[in-house]
Structure 1
Amino acid sequence: MIPPSGSSSVRPAQSLPCSIAMPDGPVPVEWRRSTRARRVSLRVSPRTRGVIVTLPASATTEAGLRLLRTHTGWIEKQLQRRAHTPRFEAGGRVPIDGADHVICHTPHGTGGAWLEQSEIHVSGDAAFIPRRVTDFLRRLATRKLADRMTALGARTGLMPAQVAIRDTTSRWGSCTARGRVMLSWRLVMTPVFVQDYVILHELAHLRHLNHSAAFWALVDLLTPRRHEAERWLKLHGAALLHAGAGHSVD
């Protein structure tokens, strides 16, 4: 894995464990030193399912060890959520609009990847399946989510200056001060009412670029199923946000 800009791997030391014991077995730990980080942090990698501990330039390794050892419960919870991440492989189940679709390897077919009722067919070598499914879902999301954004924008009178479908694993959407709305392509896997909630949430930011009481009042006005959508995302969102990680490039 290539460290992000401003980060570098911490040279292994006897005091820094390369793994941490968890109920289902040891989990790898990667240590990084970052000149940009302001505090010690840890996260679960979407690609390796390991834990990454990031240390600011001035932080001690002992601070990282303390954070790691006192957050095993949090790590276990994150790993459990990601255990349900759809796998882009033959026989895997991938939701589209919340409904499961089975990935079928069709080696002699043509067209890369395509839908047939409740199946996603993928041609070519089996090694191509993860990338082709990812590319297919991203193209589908670009069309469906942009169309839904246009429809909801016209209905509410809140029209973004620009819409971008991006490959993000940390958030479903965002809105800039210039009116540019970004959505994660992974949103196409969620039920339509969840898609509408995320889109309308971002459209509400065109009027209130904050999370003030006025913003939430507008969100409630626009999305009567807000709390249902938030519960759905809390239960299933983490797993979907990491689907296809490592197979898509912006």
Structure 2
Amino acid sequence: MAKQIQLGDHQLTIVKTTRRGSIALKVSPDGASLMVPKQFSDQTIAELVASQAEWLLSSIDKQQAKWPAKMTLQSGGTVPLFGEPIRYTEDHVTAVRSLQVRLEGNQVCAFLKTHRQLKLPQATLQQKWMRFYRQQLADYLLPRLVILAAEMGVTPGEVTIRTYRSRWGSCYADGRIQFNWRLAMAPKPVIDYVIVHELCHLVHPNHSRDFWQLVQQYCPDMLKHKAWIKQQGPALMAF
């Protein structure tokens, strides 16, 4: 289990790596991690954190400020689906046994079996939204991945859709590929780029020059899609 150190209002996770004599701070919506050389003792780490506390706190606060506030769902507002704003409404009905979120024409509806004056907790709604987005993404991504993999001449292992807080996909040494369900909010060309990116890792399990050349071969607009993710990604991760 990773060691954690209390630093002001933050829990700093200590991760020991093969780095040589250097440290690195990583901040994501999930929290802050400090990468340290694996040979550092607990006492050395504690002294390091204490001596660099002001810098660490300042860096964490600055980086977390870049992440948008967590998105909330408001009936009558809009939500992103495949890069387009879709109207979101809530309808209180007695015909459903449980909360349902589904696409109805050009809008997304949440059907609630509650009294109109009762407001459903955001956490419950967000769980249903996650399932909705996961299914929407699966319906597009899985057939698309089969097509792209055939074009590229690669054979991925098991493909799943899961929750990530700071990445869009992962490719493992055994060929498994996992994608972030939040991709359902991105334009389809961006989703295609992420698919190609992960499939290229089956050939080059790194981010070498050869890797990026292969990505660009099958996704000529790679730089455009990377820029979109850099600019819009934090807002989607906040959902």
TM class by shorter chain equals 0.7 to 0.9
In the alignment, does 2:209 pair up with 1:213?
yes
In the alignment, does 2:213 pair up with 1:228?
no
In the alignment, does 2:55 pair up with 1:66?
yes
TM-score norm. by structure 1 comes to: 0.74
User: Which letter does structure 2 place at the counterpart of 1:120?
Assistant: V
1: CA distance, partners of 2:233 / 2:59? 25
1: CA distance, partners of 2:168 / 2:33? 24
Q: Which residue of 2 aligns with 1:145?
A: 141
2: CA distance, partners of 1:199 / 1:33? 31
Is the CA contact (8 Å cut-off) linking 1:89 and 1:130 kept in structure 2? Answer: no
Q: Which residue of 1 aligns with 2:29?
A: 45
In the alignment, does 2:20 pair up with 1:31?
no
What per-residue deviation string (whole Å, max 9, x for no partner) do you get for residues 149-206 of structure 1? 1121122222212211111111111111221111111111100110000100111111
Calculate the aligned-residue CA RMSD, in Å.
2.6
The 3 A distance-change label for structure 1 pair 53 and 151 is closer
Q: Which residue of 2 aligns with 1:119?
A: 107
The 3 A distance-change label for structure 1 pair 145 and 153 is same
Gaps of 5+ in 2: 18-22, 37-41, 115-119
2: CA distance, partners of 1:191 / 1:201? 16
User: Which letter does structure 2 place at the counterpart of 1:43?
Assistant: V
Is the CA contact (8 Å cut-off) linking 1:53 and 1:64 kept in structure 2? Answer: no
The secondary structure found in structure 1 opposite 2:46 is coil
User: Which letter does structure 1 place at the counterpart of 2:56?
Assistant: L
What per-residue deviation string (whole Å, max 9, x for no partner) do you get for residues 110-139 of structure 1? 371110133211122522322211221112
Identity rate, percent: 29
User: Which letter does structure 1 place at the counterpart of 2:46?
Assistant: A
Match for 2:192 among 192, 196, 200? 196
The secondary structure found in structure 2 opposite 1:114 is strand
Q: Which residue of 1 aligns with 2:153?
A: 157
The secondary structure found in structure 1 opposite 2:133 is helix
Deviation at 1:33, TM superposition (A): 5.7
Deviation at 1:225, TM superposition (A): 1.1
Q: Which residue of 2 aligns with 1:20?
A: none
Moved more, 106-115 or 222-231: 106-115
Deviation at 1:70, TM superposition (A): 5.0
User: Which letter does structure 2 place at the counterpart of 1:122?
Assistant: A
User: Which letter does structure 2 place at the counterpart of 1:45?
Assistant: P
TM-score norm. by structure 2 comes to: 0.77
The secondary structure found in structure 2 opposite 1:208 is coil
The 3 A distance-change label for structure 1 pair 178 and 31 is closer
Deviation at 1:41, TM superposition (A): 3.4
2: CA distance, partners of 1:113 / 1:32? 37
Match for 1:104 among 85, 89, 93? 89
Q: How many correspondences in the alignment?
A: 214
Is the CA contact (8 Å cut-off) linking 1:100 and 1:118 kept in structure 2? Answer: no
1: CA distance, partners of 2:128 / 2:60? 36
